[in-house]
Amino acid sequence: MKFVRISTSWDFLYFCAVKLEDEIQQKKFKSEFHKLAVNISYSYNWMSYKNHTRFKNEDITPQQYNVLRILRGQHPQPCNLKLVKDRMLDRMSDASRIIDKLKTKGFVERHECPNDRRNVDLLITDKGLKLLESLDYVDEEFKNVFKNLTPAEVKQLNDLLDKARG
């Protein structure tokens, strides 16, 4: 099977299957394990780029989107910063800074916890809920990213990634 790049942008992966070797112009790897590590890293960066461009027009980052989704999942109950940090996909992000930016944009409210003044309750605002509602199409776009895989292959890939991290 011959793989052809349709476009020079990152969007080409929406339209055709391209082998990693062709994409990074590397024909040999030290081992299949090495190729897997490079492939996961390359795929992660590809997905990160897609997310960055997807949210750029909304004036939020993928990390801010993730925090808003966490807060929506807790809504109408407040949650604290520790819960947000524990549930974030990007554990290297500064959750406090992200919350501050979301508060400045009017998407999040911070309230001193009545039981523990050192703790802060976080709530998503109506404006934050409306933004997320307008971004619900993102979940459908993820399906398109993996449209070349069958549901069984998607499940298998999920299981394999879980096993690799385990």
Predicted confidence pLDDT, tens digits, the chain (166 residues): 333 444 444 444 443 457 888 888 888 999 999 999 999 999 889 888 888 888 888 889 999 999 999 999 999 999 999 999 999 988 888 999 999 999 999 999 998 877 777 788 999 999 999 999 999 888 788 788 888 889 999 999 999 999 999 9
Structural domain total, the chain: 2
Same domain, 89 and 76: yes
104, 141 contact by CB (below 8 A): no
CATH number at 107 reads 1.10.10.10
Q: Are residues 53 and 91 in the same domain?
A: no
- Return the beta strands (E) in the chain as ranges: 108-112, 120-124
Residue 104: inside a domain? yes
Does residue 91 sit within a domain?
yes
Tally Cβ neighbours within 10 Å of residue 128.
25
**Identity at 162, one-letter amino acid code:** D
| pTM score, whole prediction | 0.78
Nearest to 60 by CA among 120, 106, 96: 106
Do residues 129 and 66 share a domain? yes
Please say which residue of 57, 75, 99 terminates a domain.
57
164 domain-assigned: no
